[in-house]
Structure 1
Amino acid sequence: MPGVRGLFIPGPTNVPDAVRRAVDVPMEDQRAPDLPAFTLPLFEDVKKVFKSRTGQAFLFPSSGTGGWEAALTNTLSPGDKVLAARFGQFSHLWIDMCIRLGFEVDVVDAPWGEGVPVDIFAARLKADRHHKIKAVLVPHNETATGVTSDIAGVRKALDEADHPALLFADGVSSIASIDFRMEDWRVDIAVSGSQKGFMMPAGLAILCVSQKALAQAQDAQSRRCYFDFADMARVNKDGYFPYTPPTHMLRGLRASLDLLFAEGLEHVFQRHHRLAEAVRQAVSAWGLKLCAAAPHWQSDTVSAIYLPDGFDSNAFVRHAYKAYGLSLGVGLSKVAGRVFRIGHLGDLNELMVLTALSGVELTLRDQGVPFTAGSGVAAAIEHFHRTQPAQLAKAA
């Protein structure tokens, strides 16, 4: 198919030219004497994206799933109890990993379309007077349903219960796109990945770890080797890695951070909210519904959208790809065949969003889904016009 394909899954996302150029470099000496001049500032700048002053950044050659495993095995011992909610495929997978690693999981099942039930967490934490719960797991953004949870609310619940459990956050599809305040919320471990808000190829797990979690890691009895914080920290302090690092990915991360800081993190968050709202306006104009059950759950990085009864979202996504080169996210697990997903994060602007919405409208039309052609695109255009940044409005 001629032309550029449209990548609008919720990750991997589009990679900016500056990052692609940074990654496409000759291999270099990972033990060169001048490497620390590059890596040490890199570690510090990663922390700024997490809004952490006192934590420690770790970069593992892995996906975000490897970051999950690192968080769990470095701080917990077999048999330890964790509190987790299941309300989407990725929260389910985190729970599954805990079980397979030998931890006891107190699972709170919540409707798919809602986020972490803070009130239930608060009650269970207050009832845990002997502090058997060692960690609380919170997906900041559930990618399968397009739902963002209230991490600050969970921190408040921990504080009100005077509970010492560690607070873990899965920020794979939120960090660097949605405001995340590790220091303010006192998150102990936050996990992200290179392929979403960081606008890079997949392959790098990006973590930030609190001093409290690092201290607890000294007593954790879970087996670990490749993902051992102690091994990494011991060599990272001098700017190196305990095994051969993907230096090209580190160069890409440097370029990504430079782009984020040049735009300004607060502007990055505002841009994502504005683009996401355009998608939500389009969904409403089409007469369709989001999986997110209420506005306060709605994600600014991915929208999961229900098709009407009688329509197969898997067939819908296949047609969009084959007919128009448009990649949309499929529904997963409980919502498989019922929703399709539009990823709206990373290196993204108004024209790119309108491209995605136009492709969805073509597919809706081809699949016979009832809607008014052009309605969603028009709603997004009106939203963009009403909310254009002040400098652009002044120039016009």
Structure 2
Amino acid sequence: MSRRKIPGIINVTTKETKKSIRSLNRFDVFLIILVLLLIVTPIVLNLSFRQKTEAETVKPVNLYLSPRFEELLGAEMTEKLILDFLELYPDLQIQVFNQEEIEDDREPDILIIDEGEYRALAKTGALVELSHYTNYDSGESQLAIPLASFMNLFFYNMDILSAAGFDRPPKTRDEFLAYARAVKNNAGLDGIAGAALSLSPADGQALSRDIFSWIWAAGGNFRTGDERPVINTRTIVNDVSFLGGLYRDGLTASGVFTTTGDWRLEEFAAGKIAMMIASSRAIPYLREKMGDNAFGITTIPVPDTAGSYNIDISGIYAALGANSPYPDEAWLFLVFLAEQSHLLREYFKAVPGLVSDIISDGYIKSDPFYSKAWDIFESSVIVKGFSGTPDEDEYENIFYEEIRAFFESNRTAQETVTAIQRRWDEIYVGRE
């Protein structure tokens, strides 16, 4: 299985990637070489560097964590991390940032961010370049440390599918469409949508989750590193046609272009959506809201002629704020967080956890939900979208504009893909 590093992200492990579950052929070798050549920031973070020694002194300063720490980790876990860190560095003061309690123009020194936030902050120059601290110059930006990683999965409501006449989740796209139509046409399921797409511009992961995931799952991969991105293929034209039919036939929940993935999760938890794609990060939330016997997870349905099952990886990261007056002291906390990665992965119940791990964490092995997600991960090939590329916004904005025009008009899938390719080529040629 191909596993990649996240663009601009420091790899915090030195474990070797395990051998692929498939026998190596020329294509596998090509993918391996491609990943090795094109991954951004191919660096190994040696967690022993810059550690506090007996001879090292740390000047007394006040460090601030972004409020997202308590939002993502909860107050109890955040407090535990702070106390454990202060045992190592008693001369430092560290607390969660609260603008109302701070008189000057200070901003958080240490950030914890999800995939969408990372991408937005990286674009605006709000993150500190970390190569100075890692003592490794890869020639690429090194902006964050990964704490946990996730993958997209297909979620389904067991009771709704049973009421529609099905005793298992769909495996193919044809079955998926049949299931969605059955839900729509069942009088006893009034007010319940068979499927969902959430493409609000406010959702930084909308395209990757609800559009690109269908393309990747079917074996498509429109981007291979720095080479010209190619979307105008017969396979991807069929993918776009499938998505257009899903929208035009009214099989999705309303508000496709105004809702976010978080909104759809709430609707799914409330029994208003039968099937949807969401991050593995959603599993704990849905178990809490719905229980273990109300929903299931599986692979995204694919065409009968699909190639390899491809996935993209998202994550939660730690980074330094660009306006921190104490980046050296703040870096110590990033190193500390990296050392706590196992604890944080278990807290998030993250699957795969970290893509470089060759052995699953204990919570994965002992739990049917997480072990099922791990099995899917193990049999998948990781692909790379536009995250971290210089023209990421332009490529994705073009796709968004053209796919929306396609959904809301009579334009064909081929015309849509041709338009996207033409505009992508203009960007690529202009960059050369």
Normalising by structure 1, we get a TM-score of 0.29
TM-score, normalized by length of structure 2? 0.27
